[in-house]
Amino acid sequence: MANPNIVNVTTILGKVAGAAVTTSAAALVTNAASSGKILKINSLSIANIGAAAATITVDVYKNQTTAFRLAFTITVPVAATLVVISKDTSIYLEENDSLRVTASANTSLEAVCSYEEIS
């Protein structure tokens, strides 16, 4: 597993991922093992589209074995949006890492993530 040198970048692709968040931890963005890439997460927003408040947990799943939480059971009120990651707090996903989201209710929260695929 390599950690690509981002000084010698040949390609930067802007990408967006979105998903309905469920009560099971699910990868929103994954950097595959041996991808030769690094992913820069620029923003992550969680919107509550449901009829009741719900909580969100966001973690970085390192090497597909250990979860490190960026946000833990934070309440998102009805018709509100929570910004978990912004340009000021961007993070990198190395090879074999994922950004995962988990909700307290299956039909309430949606996640949108903007990121750069760097190789």
Sorted by where each begins, the domain ranges of the chain are: 12-118
Residue with tokens 């993530």: 113
* pLDDT the model gives residue 4: 76
- Determine whether domain 12-118 maps to CATH 2.60.120.1330: yes
Among 53, 58, 45, 49, smallest CA distance to 93 is for 58
Q: Per DSSP, what are the bridge partners of residue 98?
A: 30, 61
pLDDT given for residue 28 in this prediction: 98
Q: Per residue in 12-64, pLDDT tens?
A: 999 999 999 999 999 999 999 999 999 999 999 999 999 999 999 999 999 99
Q: Does residue 2 have a pLDDT over 70?
A: no
Which of 43, 55, 49, 44 lies closest to 20 in space, CA to CA?
49
**Residue 8 pLDDT greater than 90, yes or no:** no
